[in-house]
Amino acid sequence: MEKCSPSLDTIKMQVYFDMNYTSRREFLEDIHRVEESRLSPVSREITDTRVKTREELDALYRKIITYIQLHSSMGSPTDVTAVKEATAALQSVFPQTELGAFMVLLKRDKEQQLNELTMIVTGIRLFNKASKKGGEETDLHELMPAILNEALPVTSKSIENRLSASQTLVWKYTTVLEKLTDPDSPSGECDTPVVLLKQALYNVKQHDVFLKMLLADACLCAKHVEILQTALSSQMKLLKETVQSKTAVPTAKVFPLFKSLSKLWSGLQDEAQLLNIFNNIVHNLQPFVASQANIFSETYLDGLLEASEVKTDEQRITESSGERIVPAEMNTQEWLLPETTASVNELSLQYDGVCGYTLVNRDGLLLPGNPHIGVLIHEEKLYVFSSKEAALKFASSPGEFIAEVAEKAKHSPELIQLLKLHQQFSCVSPYLEMQPGKGLLVKPITKCESGTQTDIHPVETNIAKSYEWNEWELRRKAIKLANLLSKVTQSVQTDLSHMRRENITQTWLPKDAASQSKRDGESNVPKPQTYLAGLRGQRDGLVVKTNLTRSVDE
């Protein structure tokens, strides 16, 4: 939460750069991944469409044209002129009547054909653009992607301007601190904030290192653009010689040339995207050097310099180039001399080429080492120094000075990244070297001595377990195997083996229950009795029916 702290801003700058800068290959992979994710909805809509009517076929053909325009970045899908050019080029190689054959393909085959059509149509449009105006050749600059024409001249110039300003600040801060930390100079300027000046020096020095890396990448992009432009020009000439004024050219001969043009065009677009990424990183690094500019203005620095000469790194190296290490003076150490070492300026040096003795002896001052004085080899690592005296004193006890540098880095953590001291701090690793799923702070690897004992001449055992020397035993086994062919395996179950699986069932015991019903009731009814008179004795007698039923109450 500290405000206006150059030390904290340096650490923030290092974290930002580590998390946003990577190798050229990974940058290109990210660009292609973003491009693929941007086009995947349109591609999926084309490959998954099921058309049934004429209107749906027309809509699908327009979607294919839109996909080609988005993929090639040659004009917007809303630009009528660009749409007409893309439609005419597509109809020449893929007329609308072939949509039926396209629809019956598998999804993977559809995607492959879609990419091939995109490359061919892009090549045709580039060829038409170069051959317009009655066959006159168009300037190669007009064929470049618009984004590349904007980024190429601006990015390198912008980085160079910022780098020049940053280097000037580094040289001024170095001269001021060299003057203030000189033990022979009078200590009359006790009010000068030396600690803040050192933090500001580390801040602008780190900014200078990052700008140099980005400038090298931008220059590499410019070289790749030149190579691609040359290849594009030669490919365009070959295509014109192949086509010339012919009315018909075999597709097997001309389509590969169109695809080559499209690949070169895509390469130029990738370079333009890279330049934009580098330009954005440079722009986003600028706020991290604002604190030192607010604390120490140019007028204040000029006042501290007074009449002191501001020396560049090249001037310092030139002044000390006359000094040479004589191995006989320090025969206990191994040295690399410029007379006996090829490409001495390209060696991988410790502390990123900074003099370790000056860093310790002058309380954190960063002076560039001069490899022409002599390069010290200590524990398979290379060290350079700003003067012969510094080299001899460091070589007298290198272990102590290396430990002192580590102590300086503990008090100023930004030096770990600036001087590349990750090997001395094994628990800290740069973001680019992190393993997936692990943090920046890792436990150091613990090592121990171990040994194993093995036989000097181990002999392989070639014992065949199935070998039989007795032919009668072989006969017995053969008969046994032959008898097995006529046998049948049977199995039975018993009460003990039946359902051996353990089963558990939970039941509820019956509970007593009672219910109340209505009371019993009864009723009596009269018993009916009937008497018939005159049934016997008289043939034609009258039968009389008499009711003898008695009441219940009687």
Average pLDDT over every residue of 163-168: 92
pLDDT at 10 over 90: yes
Q: How much is the pLDDT for 281?
A: 94
Which residues have a Cβ under 8 Å from the Cβ of 102 and sit 6 or more positions away? Answer: 110, 113
pLDDT at 479 over 90: yes
Average pLDDT over every residue of 43-65: 87
Q: How much is the pLDDT for 431?
A: 52
Question: How confident is residue 278, by pLDDT bands cut at 50, 70 and 90?
Answer: very high
Q: How much is the pLDDT for 494?
A: 73
Q: How far is CA 82 from the centre of its chain?
A: 34
CB 295 within 8 A of CB 301: no
For the ranges 13-27, 28-42, 336-350, the lowest mean pLDDT is seen at 336-350
Q: Which helix (H) or strand (E) holds 533?
A: strand 530-533
Question: How confident is residue 143, by pLDDT bands cut at 50, 70 and 90?
Answer: low
pLDDT at 77 over 90: no
* Token pair for 415: 């030096």
Which residues have a Cβ under 8 Å from the Cβ of 223 and sit 6 or more positions away? Answer: none
Mean pLDDT across the chain: 84
The residues facing 441 across adjacent strands are: 428
CA distance 391 to 395: 6
CA neighbours closer than 13 Å in the CB half-sphere of residue 526: 11
pLDDT digits (tens, 9 = 90+) for 296-309: 888 888 888 887 88
pLDDT at 183 over 80: no
Question: How confident is residue 134, by pLDDT bands cut at 50, 70 and 90?
Answer: very low
Q: How much is the pLDDT for 304?
A: 86
pLDDT at 188 over 50: no
For the ranges 131-135, 236-240, 391-395, the lowest mean pLDDT is seen at 131-135
CA distance 16 to 430: 12
Q: How much is the pLDDT for 138?
A: 47
Q: How much is the pLDDT for 49?
A: 82
Average pLDDT over every residue of 410-415: 90
Average pLDDT over every residue of 480-508: 76
Q: List the domain boundaries for the chain.
A: 49-134, 146-305, 314-424
* Range from 399-403, 490-494, 530-534 that averages highest in pLDDT: 399-403
Average pLDDT over every residue of 219-242: 88
Count of C-beta atoms within a 10 Å radius of residue 406: 14
* Radius of gyration of the chain from its Cα atoms, rounded to whole angstroms: 48
For the ranges 66-80, 173-187, 466-480, the lowest mean pLDDT is seen at 173-187
Strands 544-547 vs 334-336: parallel, antiparallel or unpaired: unpaired
Q: Counting beta carbons within 10 angstroms of the beta carbon of residue 183, is it exposed (0 to 12), middle (13 to 18) or buried (19 or more)?
A: exposed
What share of the chain in percent tops pLDDT 90?
Answer: 24
Whole-angstrom distance between the N-terminal and C-terminal Cα of the chain? 119
Q: How much is the pLDDT for 136?
A: 46
Q: How much is the pLDDT for 441?
A: 46
More confident site: 27 or 346: 27
CB 551 within 8 A of CB 524: no
CB 325 within 8 A of CB 374: yes
CA distance 25 to 178: 41
* Range from 80-94, 329-343, 435-449, 510-524 that averages highest in pLDDT: 80-94
Q: How much is the pLDDT for 446?
A: 62
CA distance 253 to 402: 66
Q: Which helix (H) or strand (E) holds 376?
A: strand 375-378
pLDDT digits (tens, 9 = 90+) for 314-343: 888 888 888 888 877 777 788 888 777 777
Which residues have a Cβ under 8 Å from the Cβ of 244 and sit 6 or more positions away? Answer: none
Closest listed residue to residue 377, CA positions, set 334, 439, 408, 419: 334
Q: How much is the pLDDT for 133?
A: 44
Count of C-beta atoms within a 10 Å radius of residue 27: 17
Question: How confident is residue 289, by pLDDT bands cut at 50, 70 and 90?
Answer: very high
CA distance 26 to 19: 13
For the ranges 43-52, 180-189, 274-283, 447-456, the lowest mean pLDDT is seen at 180-189
Q: What's the DSSP call for residue 98?
A: G
Q: How much is the pLDDT for 440?
A: 47
More confident site: 541 or 408: 408
CB 145 within 8 A of CB 122: no
